[in-house]
Amino acid sequence: MTTLLHAGRGALAAAAAALALAACAPVTMTDRGAYVADSQYHARSADSRIRFLVLHYTEGDEPTSLEELTRENVSAHYLVPEHPPLRDGKPVVLQLVPESQRAWHAGVSEWQGTTELNAASIGIENVNSGPHDTPQGRTWAPWPADQVAAIIALSKDIVARYHIPPTRVVGHSDIAPQRKIDPGAAFPWKQLYDAGVGAWPDDATVKADLAGRAPDAPADVRALQTKLARYGYDVATDGVLDEPTRRVFAAFQMHFRPRDYSGTPDAQTDAIAQALLDKYVDRTAPVVPGATETAP
């Protein structure tokens, strides 16, 4: 009896030790019903699905925007209200699609040689009514400070978690300049940059790249096309100032020089483009339009 008792105690001790060891060991086995997946090995050749952040405006109020974004055929990962409510002092944004899933916000688009932006990006829709055309000209709806703070907080988190480079934080108008103008000329790109999100040219470099030219002096069309193609835009490099090229120039100006986004190729636009290349893109890289996938 004593031997059996000692044997039972030994078995219990061994079982307890095994359980303790199992509790400390990483869990690599996942039972998925018809099979078990073992995740103890990790391949090195992998990266995140998410490589771009795309910002939009809804061109409607919050109820209308929410209704539209929860229908079929259009969606975004996040919707930022015009005045986000606070919870524990923090702005509340609406997550409509899990980040691990594709949302339908980019449509037919291209950036840095990638054409299926829905599959490679996170989309943030922001409640804003966009442009208003009057007899005096076009005006843009303002962006409230509390909404901008929420956009910055959300964007900073996404960019940090997915290591999204500055040149891959873009607007819908950047990736689809032939058909979209959002998030518009009033969107606070410089505020986002100052907070650590996205790209912006250095003033001193822009001045140096102007090289004494008047800001409104004409710029060479082919040269500007080539610079914007290197930066990421889908644009021809044929030197022809046609409407598609003007729309690309206007999209670039709306992002980086919103006081004048007429699409006219002037010296200041050319200098801003060069300053961005100086700052973010290797100047020795070959000039291959639409093929800057490895650019930061």
Show which residues are catalytic: 125
DSSP state letter for 83: S
Task: Please provide the size of the chain in residues.
Answer: 296
Helix (H) or strand (E) holding 86: strand 86-87
CA distances to 49, 148, 151, 166, 264 from 193, in Å: 24, 12, 12, 9, 25
User: Are 267 and 220 within 8 A, CB to CB?
Assistant: no
Say what angle helices 243-256 and 267-280 make with each other, to 10 degrees: 70
SS3 string, 215-275, reads CCCECCHHHHHHHHHHHCCCCCCCCCCCHHHHHHHHHHHHHHCCCCCCCCCEHHHHHHHHH
Q: Is 123 helix (H, G, I), strand (E, B) or coil?
A: strand
Q: Nearest CA to 127 among 69, 82, 75?
A: 82
Q: Nearest CA to 254 among 166, 160, 182?
A: 182
